[in-house]
Amino acid sequence: MLWKCYAQKKWKFLSDRRDVDWQRYFFEKNALEKDGSFSWKSQDFKVKPSARMCHTGTTSADSNCVVYIGGQSGQTTRFDEIFQFDGKQFTALNPMMKSAGAGPNDMPPKFARHTTVCIGHKLYTFGGFDGMGQYFALAVFDLRTLQWSYPQTTGNTPLLRTNHAAAAVGNKMFIYGGNRTESDEYMILEDLHVLDTETLTWSQPKCTGEAPGPRVAHKLMSVGRRLYLFGGGVWTPKRDWVEKTSKMHVLDTDTMHWTCIRARGEECVRASSFCIPFVYHDWIFIYGGQSLTDGIEIADLVSFDTVSLEWHKHSVAASKQNPGARSVGTANFAAGSVWLFGGSGTHSLENSVHRLSHRLFQAKKRAKLSHPMDY
């Protein structure tokens, strides 16, 4: 309780959160608010995926490796590749899957704009599009056996879609929104669906509160038992962006109640659609994305403090090592750093790899810290 009092007094906020390690939070917030504490470095690897965007990058809790699935390099050029990255090298998994006996029906499709979450030692993907008219349902990739499968599910199965968002809480996968075209009718969705991965049962829970509404190109992140939905908007083939937002909505998965957060520091957030998020303890970081006002790709690094409910913009020294403006890429933890891979840059499609460093991230991979000031 003392650390909670110290934090709330220093930063002048109140919180009813009961799941916060207040001592850790105090020292982390101090460290994250220091200017110049982040640094980028461009990294090259002998073997790496080709240039792509709209792929997924998912960190495996078992191996602390990032697994990249699919992606695209054009409107109809999609990839069926899976790569694993441990911070030192990329490993192509498709040859290993084929050598283990996987046939064409046991491999991922060529797709992009899908979602992937990690639960236990399995990756659950849903949705996505092949660029020529086909959407995809649930698939599961077992990281231990390297088997890709399309399991049968029960319950209220969601419409197949693309440009949606997903996150995991416990053993459940949540998906929200997205778009699809059916009988030449383009539709933007505003539904929430939940997959119980133990029973492979879909449900569509009733929610209360201020729901996000129709949404594409948004992101969904989990912190504890809460889901945070950021950005996106409403896009149509005929009118382009009709509506864009940089608001953060939170869903309490215990009560299924939505809240639109009125956060401090919102004026520093320029991103809206197709941003690149990652989560560190109580913070949601967002890099790049397309701007709220004109849709141009940006190079901002901001964080949302889920405890004090405020945004903070982080200054990073200008350098040729910086990734520059970027959207529809991925950022994931591995080997004590955050790794930004691929996406669409200001001038071209990218397959560059950039490492974002901070002393807190190094502390994340240690089993035990000697003193809180090590943060």
What CATH number is given for 54-178 in this structure? 2.120.10.80
Q: How is 275-334 classified by DSSP, letter by letter?
A: -EEEEETTEEEEE--EETTT--B---EEEEETTTTEEEEPP----TTS--SEES-EEEEE
Q: What percent of the chain has pLDDT over 90?
A: 86
Res 363: pLDDT: 61
List, for residues 161-196, the tens digit of each pLDDT value. Answer: 999 999 999 999 999 999 999 999 999 999 999 999
Going through 211-255 in order, the beta strands assigned E by DSSP cover 219-223, 226-230, 233-236, 240-244, 248-252
Kindly state the average pLDDT of the residues 103-122. 96
Res 364: pLDDT: 55
Could you give the CA distance from residue 340 to residue 68 in angstroms, rounded to a whole number? 12
List, for residues 33-48, the tens digit of each pLDDT value. Answer: 888 889 999 999 999 9
Contact 340, 57 (CB under 8 A): no
Res 62: pLDDT: 80
Q: What residues does each domain of the chain span?
A: 54-178
pLDDT confidence of 362, banded at 50, 70, 90? confident
Residues in the chain: 375
Structure tokens at 306: 């889920």
Within the chain, residue ranges assigned H as helices are 2-11, 22-32, 94-99, 359-364
Is the model's pLDDT at 367 over the cut of 50? no
Res 370: pLDDT: 35
Is the model's pLDDT at 157 over the cut of 60? yes
Contact 222, 279 (CB under 8 A): yes
List, for residues 47-101, the tens digit of each pLDDT value. Answer: 999 999 999 999 998 878 999 999 999 888 999 999 999 999 999 999 999 999 9
Res 35: pLDDT: 82
pTM: 0.95
Res 371: pLDDT: 36
The conformational region for residue 24 under phi > 0 = left, psi -120 to 50 = alpha, else beta, is alpha
Helix and strand numbers (H, E) in the chain are 4, 31
Average model confidence (pLDDT) for the chain?
Answer: 93
Res 374: pLDDT: 35
Structure tokens at 35: 């200017």
Top-confidence residue, 237 or 213: 213
Alpha carbons within 13 angstroms on the beta-carbon side of residue 165 total 26
